Amino acid sequence: MREVQKILIVDDDPVVGKSFDRVLTSKGYAVISARNGEEALSKLSQEHYDLVFTDIKMPGMSGLEVAERVKASQPWLPVVIVTGYGSDAYEARAAAAGVAEFLRKPLSPEMIEASTAKALGEQSVVAEVELPAEAAPQIEAEVAAPTGSRLKNVALFLASPFIGLAYIVAMPFVALGMLAYFGYKAAIKR
C-alpha cells in the first residue's frame, strides 16, 4: 500500500488553499496549508512533505524566497510557484532556484492535478536513484504504469496530424461557404 503523499500549500488567500484542498484531497493526497512563508518553513522543518505549492505575493516573505530557502535546505523537494503576478523576471528567478513549475492564476482543477502529477513524477525519478536496488523495480513499475490521462495524451498526439489535415482540407470549403453566405446576405440587402 502506498503512503499518502503530503502537499504543502503556501498562500495568504484561504480560498486558494481550499481550492487545492478540494482538488487534491479527492485524489488521495494530504493537503496542509500555511498562510505565509515563515509558517511554511516552520512546518517544513517539523514534518516531511512531498511537494510545495507557493504563491509569490504574500505579506512578509515572498513565495520566491520560500522556494529559494526550501531548495537550499531540501533540494529534492519539488516546489511549484503559483501567481497572478507572473513576469519573465519572476520566472527566471524561479528557474534559477530550481522550482519544478511556474503556474499562472487562475488555475483550473486540471492544471492543479497535472502540475502535481508532473512534480511528483519528477520526484519519484530522483527517489529511484537514491533508493536501494531492491526498491527500484517497484518504483519503475509505478512510474511506467500508464494512466488514463497519459493514454489520452498519446492518442491525441497520434491523432493530431490527421486532425490538422482535416482542417487543411475543410478550410477552403468553409471559406467558400462563408463567402457565399455573406454574398447572399449582401445581395438581399440591395
Q: Cα–Cα distances in Å, from 16 out to 9, 82, 178, 187? A: 9, 10, 45, 55
Interatomic CA distance for residues 44 and 53, integer angstroms:
12
Q: What integer pLDDT is reported at residue 2 of this predicted model?
A: 62
pLDDT at 148: 58
Name the DSSP letter for residue 104: E
User: At residue 171, does pLDDT exceed 60?
Assistant: yes
**Does position 114 have pLDDT exceeding 80, yes or no?**
yes
Task: Tell me, rounded to whole angstroms, the distance of Cα 14 from its chain centroid.
Answer: 19
pLDDT over 90 percentage in the chain? 36
- 16-45, pLDDT tens digit by residue? 889 999 999 999 999 999 999 999 999 999
* CB atoms closer than 10 angstroms to residue 140: 13
Mean pLDDT confidence for 161-182 = 84
Q: Name, in order, each residue with C-beta under 8 angstroms of 14's C-beta and a sequence gap of 6 or more.
A: 33, 35
pLDDT of 144 > 50? The answer is: no
Q: Which pLDDT band holds residue 182 (cuts at 50, 70, 90)?
A: confident
Kindly compute the dihedral angle of the four CA atoms of residues 149, 154, 158, 164, in this order, to the nearest 10 degrees. Answer: 40
pLDDT at position 166: 81
- Enumerate residues 6+ apart whose C-beta is below 8 A from 189: none
Q: Count the helices and strands in the chain (H runs, E runs).
A: 7, 5
pTM of the model: 0.62
Q: What percent of the chain has pLDDT over 70?
A: 84
